[in-house]
Structure 1
Amino acid sequence: MKTQRIWSNTSPFYFLIPFSWLYGLITTLIRFSYHYGWKKTHHFPFPIVVVGNLTVGGNGKTPLVLWLVKILQQRGWRVGVVSRGYGGYSSYYPLLLNACINSDQCGDEPLLIWRRTGVPVAVSPRRTEAVAALFKKHTLDIVISDDGLQHYALARDIELVVIDGDHRFGNGWRLPAGPMRECANRLKTVHGIIVNGGNAKPGELQMRLQAGIPINLYSGERLALTNLTPVVVMAGIGHPSRFFATVRAGGVTPIREVSFSDHQNYKQKMLDELTPRQEFLLMTEKDAVKCGSFARAHWWYLPVDAFLPTCAEKKLLILIEKAIICAKSENVSMMKDV
């Protein structure tokens, strides 16, 4: 979090600029090596939609993935999701999620997606292996990659980039002098730019995060946010301040706001210390998937959902469904030619 605050300033640490140039050179060479066929790109018989970003930290990719899965399911399409599984470690990959898999193995975001949607989810540092595992096990119409914009070994049909509307690109420098993984010119090559919060610019699609009803980790009970008082609020995400602002906007004034690092691993004792008088403890859904096995009765989480205006929804659906239909037509033609 401290690093991200530094990156939000207009000036970088100047002694890091040569390393940023080197980082930019390396990432550019990697991208071109796949673009010109020097390295192998893996294709699949269904469209791949990559939901990624240009900066490090949480921009709202996972809420958009959840939104896409839900709306495509409603349209009758069979959806799968792949992820790197950041923050988790497994003795083997690819890892197909099931009820026996925990966040220590697969990471918090893939587990959240699997629990929330029920769609097939596969995890691997090599996303091509994750997609291949889904292809072998399930009949799918489309696969969504949560993150992976820079994972060029995986061929993609659609690239969607999520931008934090409040912070955007910080100081604009590449790592490590700034937060950028790729330069902003990369946006010229993607199919959709979705702005989470703030104000979208011309050509961008606006997205807002809307809070749901708090859910008890221990019992599954639901309770209005304003009934959770006194409450301590915690968040281990890219920008905890956004979650705290959401809680306050819901009419609640926390007695304490506690920030943890993104993908923080929790222990029961460290969370017990936050509420010594058994106050309500409210966390993000991403945190909750890591705390369910040792939850206390006064622990709650606040789910959030992405909301896009009808015009943005229509634009994305047309783009994605066109890719699905084209892929199906090509598969039929290939079968006829065999």
Structure 2
Amino acid sequence: MAIDRYPAFWDRNGVSAAMLSPLEWVFRRAVARRRARADAVAQWIDAPVVVVGNASVGGTGKTPLVLWLVEAAMALGFRPGIVLRGHRSSARGVVPVTADSDPTMVGDEAVLLARRTFRPVVIGADRVAAGRMLLETAAVDLVISDDGLQHYPLGRDVEIAVVDADRGHGNGRCLPAGPLREPLDRLNEVDLVLGNGRRMTEDGGMFEIVPGSLQALASSGGVGEPPAPGQAVHAVAGIGHPERFFATLSAMGFVIHAHPLGDHHHFRPEDLRFDDGAPVIVTEKDAVKCRALAPVNSWYLPVEARPDEATARRLKDLLELAQARSKNREAGS
């Protein structure tokens, strides 16, 4: 179910949510059947698998966390690879992704991951086939799935669920009456629930999304100094939760003119051109699609996930736990 915007009624139990209760009931029944068959349909690949997902739709900060996990895994001696759906891609089947891949073909997140990690990335609706391609074509001994908590055919050794601490679980209802892809009790089954912005539970973890320095977006040359705090800028975001991006820029001191677009928006030149000469700032995920379209004085904001010390230790422990569980499976088969 593709969602481009997060409806306001998902944050409260009002009339709109109540009217959609019958459809929510049908959705819950379908989820329950899929969950009951999860063990039967699970297919294991010849490497430990860590899934980073969420129970709700919309952006929660999964991709920055995947970037952090890839770096942490490499520091521990792993050779990680990444699989993901490749949302809004036009490619068929399973497709390897490089830093030079066309984001309209393979999806913006996939190209971003390939550029930032320099590790093998494969997209595909069939995450099992994507994982097997990783293992067949690259030196990979750990597979990290960006999203896929509800993709039960991919057997997983560790599950990490990410929750946007600002929005929480909305009204706590399932699609289409609320934002949940699965009932909240699904989170009781994962190995770790992480709050993006604050700790969600006493035994959960937390991380923050930390902005870096503005980077030039335009490929046409003539780029000068990046905009300074206090300056008015056009903030353009085609992501799942653009308000977080706008709030980040405001906290950095910019006076923003906000331009929210649908998640995975297909950019056109007019999306980035304004008649007042003010600088344009986009997200790093959008930047992979905008470079050829961007006017002079356009910038993107890279970000990174920063777990607190206790959460960082737990995440590293989970990477090693995934390896141990995978070895135990192999020994028992």
TM-score when normalising by structure 2: 0.92
Paired residue type of 2:241? H
With over 3 angstroms needed to count, the CA separation of the structure-2 counterparts of 1:281 and 1:224, relative to structure 1, is closer
CA distance in 2, matches of 1:196, 1:9: 21
Contact 1:112 1:289 survives alignment (8 Å) = yes
- Equivalent in the alignment of 2:68: 67
Q: How much has 1:198 moved relative to structure 2?
A: 4.1
Pairwise CA distance, 1:304: 0.9
C-alpha distance in 2, partners of 1:224/1:313? Answer: 32
Shift of the alpha carbon at 1:77?
1.3
Once residues 271 and 245 of structure 2 are traced to their aligned partners in structure 1, the CA distance between those partners, rounded to angstroms, is 20
**What does residue 5 of structure 1 align with?**
8
| CA drift at 1:81 | 0.4
Q: Distance in 2 between matches of 1:246 and 1:84?
A: 27
Give the aligned partner of residue 50 of structure 2: 49
Q: Distance in 1 between matches of 2:185 and 2:292?
A: 44
Please provide the CA RMSD for this pair.
Answer: 2.2
SS of the residue corresponding to residue 145 of structure 1 reads strand
Shift of 1:140: 1.2
Question: 2:36 aligned with 1:32, yes or no?
Answer: yes
> 1:239-250 maps to which residues of 2 (within 5 A)?
239-250=241-252
Distance in 2, Cα, partners of 1:188 & 1:293: 45
Question: Compared with structure 1, are the counterparts of its residues 33 and 330 closer, same or farther at alpha carbon in structure 2 (3 Å cutoff)?
Answer: closer
Residue in structure 2 matched with residue 320 of structure 1 by the alignment: 319
User: Is the CA contact (8 Å cut-off) linking 2:169 and 2:179 kept in structure 1?
Assistant: yes
The answer to whether the Cα contact below 8 Å between 2:99 and 2:114 also exists between their aligned partners in 1 is: no
Local SS of the residue matching 1:50: strand
**What is the CA deviation profile of residues 234-274 of structure 1, one whole-angstrom value per residue up to 9, with x for unaligned ones?**
111111111111011112122x11111111110113321xx
Instruction: Determine helix, strand or coil for the equivalent of 1:125.
Output: coil
2:263 alignment counterpart? 262
Write the distance in 2 (CA, Å) between the matches of 1:80 and 1:104: 21
Shift of 1:200: 2.7
**Contact 2:194/2:205 (<8 A) preserved:** yes
Cα distance in 2 between the residues matched to 1:14 and 1:201: 28
Mapping of residues 187-336 of structure 1, within 5 Å:
187-218=187-218, 226=228, 229-254=231-256, 256-272=257-273, 275-325=274-324, 327=326
Alpha-carbon displacement from aligned partner over 1:127-161 (angstroms, at most 9, x marks no partner): 11111110110121211101010100000000000
For residues 123-162 of structure 1, the aligned pairs below 5 Å read 123-162=123-162
Give the secondary structure class of the aligned counterpart of 1:68: helix
Q: Percent identity?
A: 36
Cα 1:200–1:15 shift into 2, 3 Å: closer
Structure 1, unmatched stretches of 5+, are none
Question: 1:328 deviation in Å?
Answer: 5.3
Letter in 2 for 1:208: E
Instruction: Note if contact 2:82-2:120 (Cα within 8 Å) is conserved in structure 1.
Output: yes
After TM superposition, give the deviation of residue 6 of structure 1 in Å.
1.5
1:260/1:327 CA distance change after superposition, 3 Å: same
Question: Are the counterparts in 2 of residues 236 and 259 from structure 1 also a CA contact under 8 Å?
Answer: yes
Separation of aligned partners in 1, 2:194 and 2:65: 9
2:183 alignment partner in structure 1 = 183
Pick closer, same or farther for the CA change 1:93–1:232 going to 2, 3 Å: same
Residue type of the alignment partner of 1:241:
E
In the TM superposition, what is the alpha-carbon distance from 1:276 to its structure 2 partner? 1.4
Q: Distance in 2 between matches of 1:155 and 1:184?
A: 21
Change in Cα spacing, 1:269 to 1:135, as seen in structure 2 (3 Å) is same
Preserved CA contact (<8 Å) 1:214 1:222: no
The 3 A distance-change label for structure 1 pair 305 and 213 is: same
Change (3 A) 1:311 1:100: closer
Q: 1:330 to 1:295 in 2, by over 3 A?
A: same
Aligned-partner Cα distance in 1 for 2:269–2:277: 13
For 2:86 and 2:185, the matched residues in 1 are separated by 28
CA contact (8 A) 1:10 1:170 kept: no
- Counterpart residue type for residue 302 of structure 1: L
Q: Aligned AA for 2:114?
A: W
Q: AA paired with 1:315?
A: R
- Shift of residue 46, structure 1, vs aligned partner: 1.1
Measured at CA, do residues 133 and 261 of structure 1 come closer, stay the same or move farther in structure 2, by a change above 3 Å? same
Please give the alpha-carbon distance, in whole angstroms, between the structure 2 residues aligned to 1:139 and 1:3. 39
